[in-house]
Structure 1
Amino acid sequence: YPFDEQNCSLKFGTWTHNGNLVDLHHKTGDIVVDFGVDLSDYYPSIEWDILAAVSYFVYFMISL
């Protein structure tokens, strides 16, 4: 403090449906998006700066 960095990681997915029922993907279709957040409604703050907002698409299968 006051010049430290914070990391906030978010994961989106489903625990109750498989990939055939829920299709989450990047709008561009890319695997990695350098700035994967829509900030059109974001109001800038004098308290912090958003340095990065990288988005990764990860797909994995779990067999039961």
Structure 2
Amino acid sequence: MQGTLRSQIHIGAKVSVVLKEDQGSGALTQGVVARILTNSARHPHGIKVRLEDGQVGRVKVIHD
């Protein structure tokens, strides 16, 4: 599942995100959502979240 819709992401969800510093390479970082930072219902590059370890990135994949 892609991370472009805010309604599909919830706190505690396991996700893969692209961090700001990894946007050029597209490297994914896995983590658990601590806070959803994007207020809009959708974002074409992925909903921005803060992971439990404090890293911030845009959601690319939502894991079940």
TM-score, with normalisation over the residues of structure 2?
0.23
Q: Give 1 or 2: higher helix fraction.
A: 2
Greater relative contact order (Cα 8 A, min sep 6): structure 1 or 2?
2
- Highest CA radius of gyration, 1 or 2? 1
TM-score, with normalisation over the residues of structure 1?
0.23
Q: Give 1 or 2: higher strand fraction.
A: 2
